[in-house]
A and B are shown apart, each in its own frame.
Chain A
Amino acid sequence: MKKIKLFLMAVAATVLSAGFVACSDENAEVSNWQKYQDAVTSKVKAEKKHNKAILLVAFGSTWQQAFDAFDNTLTEYGKKFSGYDVFLSFSSAICINRAAAGENVDPRNFYAPNFWLNAFAAEGIRYDEIVVQSLQVIPGEEYTRVINYIKDFANNANGDLDDEYLSKVVIKLGVPLLQDLSDVSDVATRLHTLYSAKAATDIVAFMGHGNPDSYDTYKANIRYTQLEDSLQVRSDNYFVGTVDMMENFKTHVYARMAAKGLNNGTKKVWLHPLMSIDGDHGHNDMAGDDLPEDIDENNYTFAQLQALANEEGEVEDTSWKRYFGANGSGFTCNNSTMIEKGLLELPSILAVWMNHTQAAIDGEALDYYHSKNPE
């Protein structure tokens, strides 16, 4: 009997010790949030030179070419808007993490918009004017999120900001590249200036991102179609397609080219990202080497790829380069016809975003605060 007791005690001890081990952990501290916010605030405090700030908001990237483009954009904004402190924000957490880390590299602190805005309102900083400039191309889903950040900030959604400051601060919003039809026309003119020589003999196709139908906020996808129309006024050889916009995948772009009889074996297809930076989409979706699984890399035809179109008409798992360059497509498209440049890298297009910033500065202030908190 004693032995049974001893055994049971041993069992209990084993189970209990395992239980203790299992129950400890998860050391996430609530103060982390504040600690992080304090770091952002300290950075802004250290860099504050003016009473007005511009916050550029982009999705973000982890590609070096994109980092260089963002760095250059900050520099150019600093030059043009010399009375403003200029900061840049990523909305992608993964991109923020990776831009700020790394061995033997200067960290790029592209904090999320909410942390920047809260820092701008912190005691000792409190900018008189805050201009938020969207670096999006179309006024779509990402742009909506930029607006929501501003709304949350202006309305003190978490109740952690100073209401009196919020009632006074001037908040302005710079719109995306293709906000309206006049922007479309303006950008088309500028792109034509850059690529008219190519378009004179060959095709120049731009690849935008676009929003899937299910969250095509504000129906902003229409801007891609409008841009193509506007460009085609200048030359029949311009096309604008997307990665995600329904009815405007690479297959649809090809169909539009074919309808004009351009796939006659004489033309090159120059491909160009229609995104603020040339990152993952530009290098993979546009210029990547992937092919669908059952396609032989060394021996495939355009017809084979076409046959793989899904119910939405897109051929997944391959790039624009592979598609337009496939044997039998009627075009020449290869590494030598890739124009690996993001729009922020084109000074004449960056100038359009800057014009939007200037227009915001010159225009009416946003009144998200008073619309919710009438006096």
Chain B
Amino acid sequence: MRHHHITHAAAATAFAIVLLLVCTPTAKSTPLPWGGVGSGPASAEPVDTLREVVVTATGTEHLLRDVPVQTEVISRRQLEAYGGRSLEDILAGLTASFAFNEDDMGSQMQMNGLGNSYILILIDGKRLHGDNGGENDLGLIDPARIDHIEIVKGASSALYGSDAIAGVINIITRKYDRDGLLIENTTRGGSHFDLRQHNSIGFAIGKFSSLTNFQLQHSNGWQNTATEAPSQTEFLITDSRNMTVNRHTNWQIQERIGLNISPELELYAEGSFYWKRIYRPSGKYAAVDVKTYDLHYKNASAAIGGKWQPSERAIVTLDIDWNRHAYYYLFTDTTLVDGYDPWGNFTHYFPYFPGQSNLQSDQRRTMGHLKGIFQLHERNRLSAGLEVRHDWLRAPMRVDNGGTVTDDTEALYVQDEWGIGRKRGTTHLLQFTGGLRLDRNRQAGLHLTPKVSAMLSPTEWLRLRAAWSQGFKTPTPKEQHYRYVREMSGTYLYLGNADLKPQTSNYGSLSAEITAGQWSVSVTGYINKVKDMITLVTIPNYRAPEEYQTQYELHRTRQYQNLDDARTLGIDFAFRYSSREWAFGGSYSYLNTDANQYDSEHDRMKAVTIDGTAHHKANCYVTWNHRFRRPYHLGIGIYGRASSKRFYQLNGDGKAYHIWRLTSTHDIQSRAITSRGLTLRAEAGIDNIFNYVDRTPHGLHLGTTSPGTTVYASLTLRFQQGKRTFKPIKTNSKQTHNEED
């Protein structure tokens, strides 16, 4: 408790001192270098991606080529050319560092070999909330709203503490804060009744702005095979109803209200509601494909905050947000579940009927984040922040202690960016960033994590970067206390572990980037050592609580445990060429993992596979853009992605695969259309053109869940009245400030 007070007091004092220093009127007025960092052509034109402005690595703006921490960007132009149906599709298709498996509950994701819980997903700097079985529901992200995506590997930034051991994905959405009216609709349809609807209405009157978004996503799902794993069934089943990806529908409505009180002060409020249902068809084999409930998620969020710029040398932001992710069974047949009978006794036989729902878990998080960026000197920029977080988990039948557990974490961080040597363009010969983050967790106590990175720019065309950082991640309430049962050809019991220790990591990377004319090549080597890594480990059934041994004939019991050591080591290589009409590029990611747990019974270290990892992943693309005589602009793209075998602890490895995609974009820009403020754009394409389908039987792991060849087409209609709203980010420095919010 004493530490608690010290942390708060220190944070407040430090913050006040820095604020006073930089806001004194006598201070030399040095313009912030975060405005007007270049201008580029319209999005349909070739763009030097390295001239993108990025914010994720340091929380401050840098040109991508000058950012001191290696950052990967998927630009708006790439997104439009690729026509991705979802964030999974986009990240898997456009970078080699990610692997995905869509399944019943959400998306199993990996970034350089580490899974969902080590990847911090931000939407405009705010953390995505909620997980099921450690998987995130990426349906919360409307692909049509994404302006660009920034990816920073490793726990490189002091800003993001917990969760960011593998890295950070920051999804920057398009904003609307200009005068006038915006009405936009994108409708995308594809095979398997894949439907994506994006609708926006935005307006700004004086200092008030509003943006309302509605998105709808639907897919009928697909079944790559109707065969169940013969080794897991009593006879060969070839007519299973189990789907590879289940039918699902989700929709979301979001509202953002902005108020520019004065040039120095902007305020905003946001709220959203999200609904999702995952339909699970029922078959006739009780051991395999009979289902009695669908899955149902309800999310809600609310946030308020603002940005205050007391002087040209300081920006202070405050964000307070609240998120809820509730997960229900939605019964499709009569089902007995754990509950309390009418006399108040615990029972395994509480009945529910079709159409009713039952809460499984409700995760709520409240966060406050106060951050300041201070230009202390032309060469020296300081960021400091205070983050307060409260987690609340209610799972009436899955958590002891009355079904509710909570956790509290506070963090205080400082980061200094320091330029040394002569300045070339917007960067110095040596750009140094150092950060310190002090976390205090109710259970884990205090922990200090240092972060250091540096970039050397010996020539105009060469950037050398080095980073070393420590990460710290406390066990989540779910990892500690949550238990659940899954039926997958046998009963699997998953147990939390109240004795889990926090995880710490040491991440080091070295990279070189060469940019020469229209070429850019980068290579990054990294090592990420995670101590006390928390992962699911299969344990003897007799170690399960007796109640569960008795109630379920357990096939396997899995529990979250700390591994003694784990490390991922790899090389990421990327190159690209971009001309006015042609662009091509590729990336390759080599990964080597080594995880061990001490086996006290045999006095030896036991190797543990980090589920889902593959040694080799690669992707490539070629795009061609051509402006025919007005009004027609055509873009064609070919994309490939490949992975070697993926390794798993149980139920087989996932097969190697390669998948190719053909895309096209069609912009109509006649004077009659553009003069009325209209934008008309169509996209169409074929994914998995060689129809590769992994038909590994159900119950075993797949390399990819791709359904084979699919087609899609989309149409975007946009009406804008008033000043232009969607400027490329490079010319819109104010917009990028908001993205830090």
Contacts of B269 in A (CB 8 A): 7, 10-11, 14-15
- Is there contact, CB below 8 Å, between B649 and A293? yes
Binding-face segment, A128-136, A188-196, A233-241, A303-311: A303-311
Q: Is B359 an interface residue (CB 8 A)?
A: yes
Determine the distance from Cα of A311 to Cα of B284 in the docked complex, in whole angstroms: 41
Determine the distance from Cα of A297 to Cα of B290 in the docked complex, in whole angstroms: 31
Size of chain B's interface in residues, with CB distance under 8 A? 80
C-beta contact mask, B354-365 vs A, less than 8 Å → 1, else 0? 001111000010
Determine the distance from Cα of A212 to Cα of B607 in the docked complex, in whole angstroms: 28
- Is there contact, CB below 8 Å, between B298 and A25? yes
- Is there contact, CB below 8 Å, between B540 and A310? yes
Q: How distant is B606 from chain A, measured CB to nearest CB, in Å?
A: 7
Contacts of B26 in A (CB 8 A): none
Q: Is B333 an interface residue (CB 8 A)?
A: yes
Q: Is B270 an interface residue (CB 8 A)?
A: yes
Determine the distance from Cα of A215 to Cα of B342 in the docked complex, in whole angstroms: 29
Determine the distance from Cα of A22 to Cα of B394 in the docked complex, in whole angstroms: 13
Determine the distance from Cα of A27 to Cα of B357 in the docked complex, in whole angstroms: 6
Q: How distant is A118 from chain B, measured CB to nearest CB, in Å?
A: 11
Most buried by B among A18, A61, A158, A311: A18
Q: How distant is B476 from chain A, measured CB to nearest CB, in Å?
A: 20
Most buried by A among B255, B322, B550: B550
- Is there contact, CB below 8 Å, between B290 and A101? yes
Binding-face segment, B220-228, B344-352, B374-382, B510-518: B344-352
Which residue of chain A lies nearest to B345 when distances are taken between CB atoms in the complex? A158
Most buried by B among A4, A102, A141: A102
Contacts of A18 in B (CB 8 A): 271-273, 300-302, 322, 324
Determine the distance from Cα of A4 to Cα of B139 in the docked complex, in whole angstroms: 34
- Is there contact, CB below 8 Å, between A100 and B334? yes
Q: Identify which of residues 307-343 in chain B touch chain A, using a CB-to-CB cut-off of 8 Å.
A: 322, 324, 326, 328, 333-339, 341-343
Contacts of B485 in A (CB 8 A): 94
- Is there contact, CB below 8 Å, between A98 and B349? no
Contacts of A293 in B (CB 8 A): 538, 607-609, 649-650
- Is there contact, CB below 8 Å, between B271 and A98? no
Determine the distance from Cα of A3 to Cα of B257 in the docked complex, in whole angstroms: 12
Q: Is B491 an interface residue (CB 8 A)?
A: yes
Instruction: Determine which of A35, A99, A214 lies in contact with B286 in the assembled complex, contact meaning CB atoms within 8 Å.
Output: A99
Instruction: Determine which of A22, A62, A141, A145 lies in contact with B324 in the assembled complex, contact meaning CB atoms within 8 Å.
Output: A22
Which residue of chain B lies nearest to A159 when distances are taken between CB atoms in the complex? B343
- Is there contact, CB below 8 Å, between A21 and B300? yes
Which residue of chain A lies nearest to B349 when distances are taken between CB atoms in the complex? A112
Which residue of chain B lies nearest to A11 when distances are taken between CB atoms in the complex? B269
- Is there contact, CB below 8 Å, between A14 and B283? no
- Is there contact, CB below 8 Å, between A14 and B257? yes
Determine the distance from Cα of A64 to Cα of B485 in the docked complex, in whole angstroms: 21
Instruction: Determine which of A95, A102, A212 lies in contact with B284 in the assembled complex, contact meaning CB atoms within 8 Å.
Output: A102
Q: Is B490 an interface residue (CB 8 A)?
A: yes
Determine the distance from Cα of A244 to Cα of B538 in the docked complex, in whole angstroms: 17
Q: How distant is B272 from chain A, measured CB to nearest CB, in Å?
A: 8
Q: Is A299 an interface residue (CB 8 A)?
A: no
Contacts of B676 in A (CB 8 A): none
Contacts of B207 in A (CB 8 A): 3
Q: Is B484 an interface residue (CB 8 A)?
A: no
- Is there contact, CB below 8 Å, between B339 and A4? no
Contacts of B261 in A (CB 8 A): 3-4, 7
Q: Is B201 an interface residue (CB 8 A)?
A: no
Q: How distant is A273 from chain B, measured CB to nearest CB, in Å?
A: 12
Q: Is B521 an interface residue (CB 8 A)?
A: no
- Is there contact, CB below 8 Å, between B549 and A212? yes
C-beta contact mask, B258-299 vs A, less than 8 Å → 1, else 0? 010100000101111100000001111111001110000010
Contacts of A228 in B (CB 8 A): none
Contacts of B290 in A (CB 8 A): 62, 98, 101-103
Q: Identify which of residues 71-111 in chain B touch chain A, using a CB-to-CB cut-off of 8 Å.
A: none
Number of A-B contacts (CB under 8 A): 199
Q: How distant is B650 from chain A, measured CB to nearest CB, in Å?
A: 8
Determine the distance from Cα of A86 to Cα of B543 in the docked complex, in whole angstroms: 38
- Is there contact, CB below 8 Å, between B552 and A314? no
Binding-face segment, A48-56, A169-177, A197-205, A283-291: A283-291
Contacts of B231 in A (CB 8 A): 288-289
Q: Is B429 an interface residue (CB 8 A)?
A: no
Contacts of A19 in B (CB 8 A): 302
- Is there contact, CB below 8 Å, between B302 and A103? no
Determine the distance from Cα of A288 to Cα of B607 in the docked complex, in whole angstroms: 23
Instruction: Determine which of A28, A34, A63, A244 lies in contact with B339 in the assembled complex, contact meaning CB atoms within 8 Å.
Output: A28
Which residue of chain B lies nearest to A59 when distances are taken between CB atoms in the complex? B553
Determine the distance from Cα of A279 to Cα of B290 in the docked complex, in whole angstroms: 16
C-beta contact mask, A19-35 vs B, less than 8 Å → 1, else 0? 10110011111101111
Most buried by B among A62, A100, A142, A294: A62
- Is there contact, CB below 8 Å, between A15 and B208? no
- Is there contact, CB below 8 Å, between B273 and A93? no
Q: Is A164 an interface residue (CB 8 A)?
A: no
Contacts of A244 in B (CB 8 A): 541-542, 549
Q: Is B304 an interface residue (CB 8 A)?
A: yes
- Is there contact, CB below 8 Å, between A15 and B550? no
Q: Is A281 an interface residue (CB 8 A)?
A: yes
- Is there contact, CB below 8 Å, between B287 and A142? no
Contacts of A29 in B (CB 8 A): 356
Q: Identify which of residues 87-131 in chain A touch chain B, using a CB-to-CB cut-off of 8 Å.
A: 92-105, 112, 114-115
Q: Identify which of residues 306-326 in chain A touch chain B, using a CB-to-CB cut-off of 8 Å.
A: 307-308, 310-312, 314, 316-317
Instruction: Determine which of B208, B259, B292, B364 lies in contact with A101 in the assembled complex, contact meaning CB atoms within 8 Å.
Output: B292
Q: Identify which of residues 267-304 in chain A touch chain B, using a CB-to-CB cut-off of 8 Å.
A: 279-281, 283-284, 288-289, 293-294
C-beta contact mask, B375-403 vs A, less than 8 Å → 1, else 0? 00000000000000000000000000000
Contacts of B341 in A (CB 8 A): 33, 158
- Is there contact, CB below 8 Å, between B271 and A17? yes
Contacts of B350 in A (CB 8 A): 28, 32-33
Q: How distant is B206 from chain A, measured CB to nearest CB, in Å?
A: 9
C-beta contact mask, B547-566 vs A, less than 8 Å → 1, else 0? 00111110100000000000
- Is there contact, CB below 8 Å, between B551 and A114? no
- Is there contact, CB below 8 Å, between B359 and A312? no
- Is there contact, CB below 8 Å, between B267 and A97? no
- Is there contact, CB below 8 Å, between A142 and B550? yes
Q: How distant is B624 from chain A, measured CB to nearest CB, in Å?
A: 45
- Is there contact, CB below 8 Å, between B343 and A100? no
- Is there contact, CB below 8 Å, between B259 and A7? yes
Determine the distance from Cα of A95 to Cα of B302 in the docked complex, in whole angstroms: 42
Q: Is A36 an interface residue (CB 8 A)?
A: yes
Determine the distance from Cα of A316 to Cα of B335 in the docked complex, in whole angstroms: 32
Q: Is A368 an interface residue (CB 8 A)?
A: no
- Is there contact, CB below 8 Å, between B282 and A92? no
Contacts of A314 in B (CB 8 A): 540
- Is there contact, CB below 8 Å, between B359 and A26? yes
Q: Given that A14-B269, A18-B271, A310-B540 are contacting pairs, would A101 and B287 also be in contact in the complex, using a CB cutoff of 8 Å?
A: no
Q: Is B487 an interface residue (CB 8 A)?
A: yes
A positions within 8 Å CB-CB of B: 3-4, 6-7, 10-11, 14-15, 17-19, 21-22, 25-30, 32-36, 39, 59, 61-65, 67, 92-105, 112, 114-115, 141-142, 145, 158, 212, 214-215, 244, 279-281, 283-284, 288-289, 293-294, 307-308, 310-312, 314, 316-317, 340
Closest 8 A/B residue pairs (Cβ): A36-B351, A14-B271, A98-B286, A62-B286, A18-B302, A62-B287, A101-B333, A93-B336
Known: A25-B357, A28-B356, A98-B487. 9 other contacts (CB 8 A): A28-B358, A64-B285, A96-B336, A99-B286, A101-B292, A212-B549, A215-B550, A244-B549, A293-B649
A-B pairs with beta carbons under 8 Å apart, 21 shown: A14-B271, A15-B271, A15-B322, A17-B271, A21-B300, A22-B324, A28-B352, A28-B356, A32-B351, A33-B342, A65-B234, A93-B336, A97-B334, A98-B286, A98-B290, A101-B291, A279-B553, A284-B555, A293-B607, A316-B538, A317-B538
